[in-house]
Amino acid sequence: MYSDDEIKERLGKYGAVYLPSDVKESVDDILGNELKKERLDDFFKVLKKYKNIVKQLKNTKLSPNLTVLLYGPPGTGKTSLTRAYSKKYNIPICVVEADRLVSPLLGDTIKNIRNVVELSADIARENNAFVLFFDEIDAIGSERSNIHEVGEIKRAVISFLQVIDKINYEGVPLAIFGATNHQNQLDSAIWRRFTFHLKFNFPNYDLRKRIIASFINQIKKAKIGVDDSILTKLNEEYNEIQIIIKNLEIKLGHKISEFENDLIQKEIKKKVKNNGLLKLTHGYSGSDIERGTRVALFKAIHTELLTFEVFYDSLKLVGGTANHVERQNTLSNSRTVNNITKSFNSRSKDFPKPPEI
């Protein structure tokens, strides 16, 4: 059996290794994503008992492949939620960083991919379960038909597919997760190797209200002064937005989503005159809101009071991920094809639409 120190020492060169005791967040700390939580809960329950039932599952030829693909905008909880479930079920996890795998030397990238998977598989066999999480999996799993990809990336994709197939065939209790913000760039064969495809979205008005209120309550628990008007204005704005959405749905005759189109946002900009936290944070991820809260804390600690104006200005300062991506799209679209980087690490700046799967 591998000791905790051995796991960290041997896998540390590929990324961050988290033992259950190292993980700070819990599943309950991560608001929203209820359907994804249900799926991941089922997944980790099976992972815990997988080694004991793998033989009988093999006889059915339907043994579940322990693979999950998480996709969507950055900062929406892909890594945090997986880490939290590893903590809940007491399973170590290695979050592999793409730049630790990718090498300019011919063949080294393939060697790194095989090494990290095979070492993780050994740990899983000895310790009954292990989680290997590939962050930015598009760096090693890009579409092989892309004319801008060099031969090395194509060989890396093939190598990755081979090691996943081997792990699945042998029934190793190794969970392989992949996370990407660029799902349209993934090779179609990579998609097929993952049993679960879980899409992460920007939080809607309901969830953003809960996230903001949660951070405000955390500040209060830290005995830092908070102006009561923050939560009062937040609730008033939320109720106003709910009325706007309800009236739109009555008018249209069907339910509508905040991110389905810009209809709701246009109505809110037109009818909600005051500066509001929910109006401001459209297109913000949970991480964006957390960063804004941390910025606001500097002023609140100094003045001993967090005011609405300070909180609003801090959130506005950090900006939302959706806005950053939109600016990247504008820059990317202004370039010609000849200016596209053809290096091994090159990836499109366009934020992709979710594929039909």
pTM of this structure: 0.84
Helix %, strand %, coil % for the chain, to 5? Answer: 60, 10, 30
Where would I find the H helices in 103-199? 108-127, 151-170, 188-193
Give Cα 241 distance to the centre of its chain. Answer: 27
**Whole-angstrom distance, CA of residue 340 vs CA of residue 215:** 41
Q: How many helices (H) and strands (E) does the chain have?
A: 14, 6
- DSSP code string of 174-224: EEEEEEES-GGGB-HHHHHH-SEEEE-----HHHHHHHHHHHHHHHHHTT-
**Whole-angstrom distance, CA of residue 182 vs CA of residue 160:** 18
Rg value, the chain, Cα: 23
* Closest-CA residue to 25 (of 91, 77, 96): 77
Domains and CATH numbers, the chain: 4-199 (3.40.50.300), 205-319 (no CATH)
pLDDT of residue 352: 40
* Closest-CA residue to 70 (of 154, 131, 129, 143): 131
What's the CA angle centered on 110, arms 85 and 342, to 5 degrees?
Answer: 100
pLDDT of residue 54: 81
**46 sits in which H/E element:** helix 34-60
pLDDT of residue 295: 97
* pLDDT tens per residue across all 357 residues of the chain: 899 999 999 999 999 999 999 999 999 999 999 999 999 999 999 999 998 888 777 777 666 789 999 999 999 999 999 999 999 999 999 999 988 888 777 688 889 999 999 999 999 999 999 999 999 898 877 655 554 445 666 788 888 889 999 998 888 999 999 999 988 888 888 888 899 999 999 999 999 999 999 999 999 999 999 999 999 999 999 999 999 999 999 999 999 888 877 889 898 988 888 899 999 999 999 999 999 999 999 999 999 999 999 999 999 999 999 876 555 444 444 332 233 223 323 333 343 444 433
Side-by-side strand order, sheet with 15-18: 15-18, 93-96, 130-134, 174-180, 67-71, 196-199
Q: Bridge partners of 26? A: none
